[in-house]
Structure 1
Amino acid sequence: MNSNFPLPRPLRKSTSLSPAKTLRIVMLGQSAVGKTAITVRFITRRFIGDYDPTLETIYRHAAIMEGEFVNFEILDTAGQEEDSLQIEEKIKWGDGFLIVYSVTDRCSFDEVMRLCFLVNHIHSNSKKVGTDQPPVVIVANKKDLEFDRMVSTDDGENLSRALKFPFYEISARDCVEDTVLVFSAVYNEFIKQTATSPCPFKKKTVSKLIEKIPKIQANSVLASSGRSFSFNSFKDYTSE
């Protein structure tokens, strides 16, 4: 696992920070690979193992990356079978992508190639800023389940080299730093690939499909006085 990207510092008030930018990240991958666990671990530092895999949510979370104040909007997709128009709208919405599979599920690994192709194809046709390749990071989750492993580290690294996308093998359950690292990685990929653009953070139109997805402000979750929550009660935190 590559660990060259610096971890983002905790938020603190500073007069030297530039105005906040918004970065939209789409979590892609089959159901039950840990997309929600990775997202919530990054935002709250908690690991939640019990959730509804059919829910889709957009999380809003602020962090400092490389001295820049960044508002993350993270679309956690359900990973269920859906029509091509739905997946296309979600990919068009995103600035960067985390494509996740589980090392305990060979089928989820085989799905990575298709998802990378879709992102590349839709990205190239939507006239996004940056280079030919979109900001994508491949994430192998659940490395803590070594006895259930069906996909080797070499398999992931070989796929990463073939597709020319960064690769990380992590455990959302065991290590919060792993989840911070992959979001930092996709942020850095986005910055690198949009360095030549005068305005890489562009406001996009939002489709009716995206407008229907519930949104959660991370601050409301973090300020819940240590309340333990399940993914069956997301509506408690939903704000339109």
Structure 2
Amino acid sequence: MNQKEFTEYKLVVVGSGAVGKSALTLQFVQSEFIEDYDPTIEDTFRRQCAIDEQVVMLDILDTAGQDEFSAMREQFFQYGEGFLLVYSIIDRQSFQEIEKLNYHINRVKNKDNLPKILYGNKGDLAGQRVVSTLEGDALAAKLGTKYLEGSAKHNVNVDRAFHEVVRLIRSYRDNEKTEKKHKPHRKWKCEIL
């Protein structure tokens, strides 16, 4: 199969600094966990995989979480079709930041119903948890997203999170096509007097 025959999806992984965005992305793309924290400015990864028996190519943008790179966020958001909103279950501030990130994504894309997954990372540190699963569920409901908790370190719900974003993008694309198909076409009548 030729690479051009793959359906491509553009995913953006966003969240505060040190929540595990890069660890999550590397676990998905390379099946490895990196212990050392090295702040990301921007990394792009490509991975071919099968989702629901369809071979796809994922372009994944791993973004900066630090405030000093917030000026770049609009470019990141404009790039994406689907978003993985990541916070750490052991960092309340990262959880609180999600609503602001969601708002900015919607503003940049000029839409509210974009394909997104809320992902509570660092489930392997559950003994240090400060954000409950119920709070995660409630925020996901408020934002109109699906919610998953997991661990990049132990590869819990990592593939599932990325696959779910792709499924949401597919559904979103299908809805966009249907809406365009059912939009009434204006027929202009022109009369020359």
Give the TM-score band, short-chain normalised.
0.7 to 0.9
The structure with the largest strand share of the pair is 2
User: Offset of 1:64 from its aligned partner?
Assistant: 1.3
The count of corresponding residues between Structure 1 and Structure 2 is 178
User: Offset of 1:54 from its aligned partner?
Assistant: 3.6
- 2:153 paired with 1:167: no
Which whole-Å CA distance do the structure 1 matches of 2:57 and 2:68 have between them? 28
2:41–2:69 CA contact under 8 A, matched in 1: no
Larger RCO (alpha carbons 8 Å, 6+ apart)? 1
Structure 1 gaps, min length 5? 1-13, 126-131, 199-240
- 2:10 paired with 1:24: yes
Residues 122, 175 of structure 1: CA spacing in aligned structure 2 closer, same or farther, 3 A cutoff?
Answer: same
2:81–2:115 CA contact under 8 A, matched in 1: yes
Q: Which amino acid aligns with 1:195?
A: D
Partner residue in 2 for 1:189: 168
Q: Which amino acid aligns with 2:142?
A: A
User: Offset of 1:18 from its aligned partner?
Assistant: 9.0
Structure 2 gaps, min length 5? 178-193
1:60–1:71 CA contact under 8 A, matched in 2: yes
User: Offset of 1:175 from its aligned partner?
Assistant: 2.5
The structure with the largest helix share of the pair is 2
User: Offset of 1:66 from its aligned partner?
Assistant: 1.8
- 2:28 paired with 1:42: yes
Q: Which amino acid aligns with 2:29?
A: I
1:25–1:75 CA contact under 8 A, matched in 2: yes
Residues 84, 141 of structure 1: CA spacing in aligned structure 2 closer, same or farther, 3 A cutoff?
Answer: closer
User: Offset of 1:146 from its aligned partner?
Assistant: 1.5
Partner residue in 1 for 2:78: 92
Which whole-Å CA distance do the structure 2 matches of 1:73 and 1:123 have between them? 18
1:32–1:53 CA contact under 8 A, matched in 2: yes
Q: Which amino acid aligns with 2:124?
A: D
1:26–1:77 CA contact under 8 A, matched in 2: yes
2:22–2:40 CA contact under 8 A, matched in 1: no
Partner residue in 1 for 2:49: 63
User: Offset of 1:42 from its aligned partner?
Assistant: 0.7
Q: Which amino acid aligns with 1:196?
A: N
Which whole-Å CA distance do the structure 2 matches of 1:21 and 1:82 have between them? 34
Which whole-Å CA distance do the structure 2 matches of 1:63 and 1:46 have between them? 16
1:18–1:69 CA contact under 8 A, matched in 2: no
Tell me the percent identity. Answer: 35
2:40–2:62 CA contact under 8 A, matched in 1: no
User: Offset of 1:46 from its aligned partner?
Assistant: 1.6
Which whole-Å CA distance do the structure 2 matches of 1:191 and 1:139 have between them? 19
Which whole-Å CA distance do the structure 1 matches of 2:56 and 2:144 have between them? 26
User: Offset of 1:73 from its aligned partner?
Assistant: 0.9
Q: Which amino acid aligns with 1:118?
A: H
Tell me how large the CA RMSD over aligned residues is: 2.2
Partner residue in 2 for 1:151: 131
Which is higher, the Rg of structure 1 or of structure 2? 2
Which whole-Å CA distance do the structure 1 matches of 2:32 and 2:70 have between them? 33
- Following superposition, which runs of at least 4 residues in structure 1 exceed 6 angstroms of deviation? none
Q: Which amino acid aligns with 2:11?
A: I
CA deviations 1:144-196 (Å, max 9, x no partner) are 112211111111001111111101010111125x1100001100111111113
Which whole-Å CA distance do the structure 2 matches of 1:55 and 1:49 have between them? 18
